[in-house]
Amino acid sequence: MSATKKLFIKTYGCQMNVYDSERMAEAMGGQGYVTTDSPDDADMILLNTCHIREKAAEKVYSELGRYKGLKAEKPDLKIGVAGCVAQAEGAEIMRRQPLVDLVVGPQSYHRLPELEARARAGEKALDTDFPAEDKFDHLAARPKAKRGPSAFLTVQEGCDKFCAFCVVPYTRGAEVSRPADRILAEARDLVERGVREITLLGQNVNAYHGHERGLAGLIRDLAGIDGLARIRFTTSHPNDMDDDLIAAHGDCDKLMPYLHLPVQSGSDRILKRMNRQHTRDQYFAIIDRLRAVRPDLHLSGDFIVGFPEETETDFADTMELIERVGYGSAFSFKYSTRPGTPAAERDQVPEDIKDDRLQRLQALITRQQRAVQDAMVGREVAVLFEKPGRMAGQMVGKSEHLHAVHVTAEGLAPGDLRRVRIVGSGPNSLSGVLI
């Protein structure tokens, strides 16, 4: 196959999809493909989809519709759909949009080269199985190209929690953890290629069981890798925040003081209806224990407003929880139905009430986020610089708390880790000077 073939990947959704897209590009690199930033000059277009947000499937069909003209101009162009919408919709995608040549689920993308070959031979290729083999065993070794200073590393996939609103157990399958030795080998390889910060990924990452001491044990082993300066992990479930993992936030210097710990609602009644299997007081207890071992911990969360049967009292409980915790950032959404999930069949909250509640919740989160950022002014932080900023001589990086920080100074380069004094707070970033 010609080495000039070009692959365009559009990635939707979470960091795990970003990681998956990287691995799919590497798999296709073995077939002679190089990535391109434009679909116009691509020989293959791949949409790596997410099924979490509202009308996710319709957005994919809309995007596919944009490629009709391009497909007419280039009959040899191959178009594929991957990810969670591919898993959920399967053959329906090909039925509704005949220009699609292949569909592959998130647990089968190691078979992408085979599917592409079948598509080149004129077949319609579909694979949405949950294969018995581990896809990571079948992916080609990562190329030795230089990497940026930060990287994602998937350690766990799937979820066994079955929250009433969520499709992940149906699209990603049951919880599966990668063996610790393979993760450590991949991490060492990333560090050799210039990575200084690794974010461990999983749909329910703190349920990781590929190490005898769970995620905490994996983090402690990763901390022993020379050259790896920072470790993060996302996304977590409160029920899997065990004693050892809480302790690691206090005694593992390389584990950053930032934690994304979704709660979804502050109402015990709604938490029960969501099948979250924890209470607000249990969530508070976890936060208190984490802050006892790491007082400067910044917290992020997820919130769903307008969940079926949510009353104004339930919503007030959520607002009170947010006030008490004091989040540095958060993600909030109106509830939207997912076919096949238990909550989809329940009495729905009117859209105008959802809109009103979302605006009030987001206003509170914005005030908290700005207060946390403003409180950083005058403090010293460590910044891992990643890329040039918009201004001449400016570099942008991330603090320990995941704040974006920009500094104007000569001699800075991606991968530099420097002490910075924060001198200004903007809407979405901090400004600083080198110490």
Q: Which two tokens stand for residue 419?
A: 């002490």
Task: Give the β-pairing of 197-201 and 230-234.
Answer: parallel
**What is the residue-wise DSSP string for 369-418?**
HHHHHHTTTT-EEEEEEEEE-SSTTEEEEE-TT--EEEEE-TT--TT-EE
252 is in an annotated binding site: no
In 183-246, the DSSP E strands lie at 197-201, 230-234
> What SS3 state is found at 170?
helix
CA 59 vs CA 44, 99, 280, 341: distances in Å: 20, 16, 35, 20
Q: Which two tokens stand for residue 347?
A: 């009495």
Q: Which two tokens stand for residue 205?
A: 């990452």
Q: Which two tokens stand for residue 412?
A: 């800075």
159 is in an annotated binding site: yes
Residue 145: partners with Cβ closer than 8 Å, 6 or more residues away:
193
Task: Give the β-pairing of 33-35 and 156-157.
Answer: unpaired
14 is in an annotated binding site: yes
- Residues β-bridged to residue 432: 407, 422
Helices (H) and strands (E) in the chain, counts: 15, 19
Residue 63: partners with Cβ closer than 8 Å, 6 or more residues away:
10, 47
Residue 164: partners with Cβ closer than 8 Å, 6 or more residues away:
273, 274, 275, 341, 342, 343
Q: Which residues are annotated as part of the binding site?
A: 14, 50, 84, 159, 163, 166
Q: Which residues are annotated as part of the binding site for [4Fe-4S] cluster?
A: 14, 50, 84, 159, 163, 166
